[in-house]
């Protein structure tokens, strides 16, 4: 068994019927694939190759990074904002 661990994998606050409120976890650390069935639940697909589209080219690393970069609506306005701040703080 792997020595990897999952944090927060044990649900808390479950009622006798076995339902668990979403987002409530104890934070207990336990080995990956232990007794919860996760290692067998996806066993039929875990070793399949990653899907590659036959019709669309793979996105470049640069473009992919752009998909996940923070949105900056005010990009390029730093100088204008600094100049406005200086004019507002200037003594008359």
Of 57, 11, 56, 59, the C-alpha closest to 36 is 11
| Segment 66-91, tens digit of pLDDT | 888 776 666 778 888 889 999 999 87
Where do the structural domains in the chain lie, given as residue ranges? 1-42
Q: Are 9 and 36 in contact (CB under 8 A)?
A: yes
pLDDT tens-digit readout, 18-30? 444 445 455 555 5
Q: Is 81 helix (H, G, I), strand (E, B) or coil?
A: helix
Q: How far apart are CA 67 and CA 4, in angstroms?
A: 30
pLDDT of residue 65 exceeding 70:
yes
pLDDT at 54 over 50: yes
């Amino acid at each position: 068994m792997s020595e990897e661990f999952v944090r927060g994998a044990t649900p808390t606050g479950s009622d006798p019927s076995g339902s668990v409120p979403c987002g409530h976890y104890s934070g207990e650390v336990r080995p990956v694939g232990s007794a919860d069935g996760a290692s067998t639940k996806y066993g039929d697909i875990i070793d399949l190759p990653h899907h590659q589209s036959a019709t669309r080219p793979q996105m470049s690393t640069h473009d992919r990074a752009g998909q996940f970069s923070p949105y900056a609506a005010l990009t390029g306005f730093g100088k204008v904002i600094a100049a406005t701040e200086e004019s507002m703080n200037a003594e008359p």
